[in-house]
A and B are shown apart, each in its own frame.
Chain A
């Protein structure tokens, strides 16, 4: 009978888990990076990683006993990510001709009658790129991406559509269509990804 409360409370408790917080911090840092892409030149990965993580941690109020531990973990992961030159180049290409970068835009899906919040949507003149960010590959949900795709296709029917999965661990940008064509060897849920085709 009390399921609504139980769900809400379980969610509130899960937000206190370290892994969850780590994911949120990294998410936030990468989005921050994308927002400021044109202003920042990545010459010093460590410095940039530190600045981004510090900025992400600002809104976690004290006391936050895990602050130092999580910050150092997050900096390490982000620094590693920022060193992955191929990923950055690819990302750069995606963003360079963007007309608009939407960070966590809220979409209403008429089909599902719910509000969706994809991580990043890059709008180009005639194309639309969906970027789903995950700390670990195992967190990827095909159903989630499919829901975003359906709603976005309805909103931008004239646009070409591309979906990417950006993972921190390992630092990689996965073109979801290509991965499917490769039979998704590298993706843990490749069999499900085929559904996108």
Chain B
């Protein structure tokens, strides 16, 4: 018999199920253990038990069998595959097997990190195919733009899949999907197989994959032969969500409304009637503080036993768990029986970052004539890790520190060294030091050698854990300290997910050769970079902190939801370029749809009485944070019911930055500025531009000498410059031959890319896309020049130009040196004659020449005295008016001014132009602005007046004021700047 019910979650899903259970138990006379309840999550099962206990009227009783889907798997194996032996591989083991397949098929590219990355992507494809029970077919015409490796995989998909499966069988491995599939086949083939239970309740499932569908159909077959099967779907407001309708259709079932006499909750709220609040926070700390403040009011009035059903904090993003728990420390009583069901992020645990640095040192080793050599740069970084000094204090000893310094400083930073050289440099010390250093060599070098691999890695990690404990670094005795808890979580992660992989040597011997050692290191790195430990908690008492999916089928009176953001709710999965909609269609996989999350969210809202949802928001156009799409659905639903759902702001805003506000300029600042201006090396255009774009940034950069945080785009810019330099230098003083240049681009780009180690800055997919973009730009750019037939001669590449002018200051005259590095100096031949072209290469998308402004400013330069300092009330605004709000045109004049002051004859040129080359895939790669003779003379004559005015403003202006525009959030000094403005607008540390 099969019964199918639709149970509105606002009836109280689990409570109503408890009532149905008691009714069935009485009517059907089953013994409790003959009944099996299966839920999608473990937590729903635990709550179900909790409710059964609550309703037991103070009597002891035997529970029915209550299982999560995972636990039902174990039962199903016992019941229906009792004699089949198998081993289930973890994802890491599956990765190793797939790597072996790719290696056999000669499909590895030989770069371990990239190969591991792509193996993960390939594994996802194979898993999806398996869940849908599909035999893969080769994609003969794989989409353009995919890396060659991915294309090759798609073209050989069936071969890969077949070999992967063969290896699985050879090793006695089965994936869970394969086991489910076998059970499904078993049940459909022999429907009379009697299970050890008489009644099965499948509760709260929604969408089914093909393999699961077969299994359910098998269970339906058992039902025809005596199994009492009850399927209960959770429904928002009693409606048949399209997802449920689809599942019912595929199972060929009709659902009826859950029996009214088993309804648990009589007081029903529609969404219109619910208390729902949507809050907007500036950052995660504000969001968690808001929730903690609310909890402070709630918790003292609630008994521990009441809490699990009354209140819940939902933290969908595991990264928010830590800030939340830290903030929750303000309510110590909350910790007495706190239950967390969410992953605890451990990537930044000090031991993890130390291990990652050791891996970096060994991954970058190379074999020289001296033997295995290590990069000095990575070693220096490792030495500066704070934990290293605490774990092995010997490295802090003065004599060792000094010798290490000598060892490092006597070599170039890009140099390599052998362990023997290091030992030699530190030799001859007293025995105690020698012993301690021997430990250091063992842990950081010797244990990682190839000959010790893979077991050596597991052993050295275990050794580090012991040393960490012995040194008393996690403070076990201090209960209030997170460090002990974090350490235990990290240890649990290593013991369960990392160490076994390296201790089981036979896994590696089937795969590894000497060279594959680096794959082992990369696999370890990959695991450590995603370090986390899942906390399970216990729901019978205390405050519940749950991940979003853990809330499924639960009912709470009050819910606080943090991270109500798009990309988190619904989650944005890591993009897999092999599972795009186009490829899914080709492979026969279902197209990803948001239907599942739509269903989850609607049932979630229906299950609570009061909800407080907080999202993070930034008003900047470029910000990544945006509220979840469900905010709009909630608002719409509320409005339909005649209620508004305004967004309330938690932001106690940091006052908007005003021009008049800023860091006061003092005499000491002026003195520092004078020193900078008088420096031998001179000042560049960036000195001027930085100040006039944002004086505060100028203050951080030039006066405080703080280094700007470098991002990957800066490195990409350096790559493009280097490639240009390499391509064009051979044509110095001769005509560029484009047909020579074009074929060189791919190999040259590869070489520069490798030297600059871009893989350290970007993940493999971004790296691939960025490289393709740059390659494509370079090819198109030079191809367009070739097509134009224009003759160009290289006059200079990365050439320095400089000059001097006098700044009247304090009754004296200061000589100021100004300089610039011009990217390209070109002689261009056109029908109008020879042209001198000064070109600057720009990788930023905002770089451009503002032609109208240039016309206006040039006219101004022609008017004698028009640019003299003191004529305008606000020089800052005036400069922006002349050159553009981002000083786009300043460089144009600055470089021309430097060039014109060089001892050089330009009389042979019909005109002089300044231009930008912009990295874009649009047709217009160059923007060029030309000057006539009179204009050039005016620049030479009057531009120093502009520079004098700008410098005087820098020296005399009252404040280093704060600038605010849309790019502010991307400034490398963003955090420093915010820090200066902490204390709600007070300028801490300035006055």
Contact = CB atoms under 8 A, between A and B. Distances in A.
Interface stretch (A8-16, A86-94, A130-138): A8-16
A150 to B, nearest CB: 8
B74 to A, nearest CB: 6
Contact of B488 (A6, A55, A105): A6
Contacts of B540: 114
A63 B501 contact: yes
Interface in B52-82: 52-53, 56, 58-63, 65-66, 74, 77-78, 82
A75 to B, nearest CB: 14
For B52, B78, B173, which residue has the most chain A Cβ atoms within 10 angstroms? B78
A19 to B, nearest CB: 15
Given A1-B335, A63-B90, A106 B537 contact: no
Interface in A34-69: 35-36, 51, 54-55, 58-59, 61-65
B335 A6 contact: no
B482 A2 contact: yes
Interface of B is mostly: mixed
B525 interface: no
A100 B423 CA distance: 71
B60 A62 contact: no
A33 interface: no
Interface string B504-524: 110100000000000000000
B87 A62 contact: yes
B337 A4 contact: yes
Interface string B387-425: 000000000000000000000000000000000000000
- Of the listed residues A13, A64, A108, the one surrounded by the most CB atoms of chain B closer than 10 A to its CB is A108
Contacts of A109: 60
A2 B485 contact: yes
Contacts of B489: 5, 9
Contacts of B500: 63-65
A61 B59 contact: no
A151 interface: yes
A106 B93 contact: no
B89 A107 contact: no
Contacts of B335: 1-4
Nearest to B335: A1
Contacts of B482: 2
A64 B489 CA distance: 20
**Which residue among A3, A5, A154 has the maximum number of chain B CB atoms within 10 Å of its CB?**
A5
B58 A8 contact: no
B59 A110 contact: yes
B93 to A, nearest CB: 5
Contacts of A8: 535-538
Interface in B472-502: 479-480, 482, 484-485, 488-489, 491-492, 495-496, 500-501
Contacts of A106: 49, 62-63, 65-66
A111 B538 CA distance: 20
Nearest to B84: A58
A54 B66 contact: no
Given A1-B332, A115-B63, A65 B503 contact: yes
A127 interface: no
B327 to A, nearest CB: 13
Given A2-B484, A65-B505, 4 more contacts: A12-B533, A58-B85, A107-B63, A155-B60
21 contacts: A1-B329, A1-B332, A2-B335, A2-B479, A2-B484, A4-B337, A4-B538, A5-B488, A13-B488, A55-B82, A55-B85, A58-B77, A62-B89, A63-B93, A65-B504, A108-B53, A108-B56, A108-B61, A110-B58, A110-B60, A155-B60
Task: State the 9 A-B residue pairs at the shortest beta-carbon distance, nearest first.
Answer: A9-B488, A65-B503, A106-B63, A65-B504, A63-B500, A63-B504, A154-B60, A151-B60, A1-B335
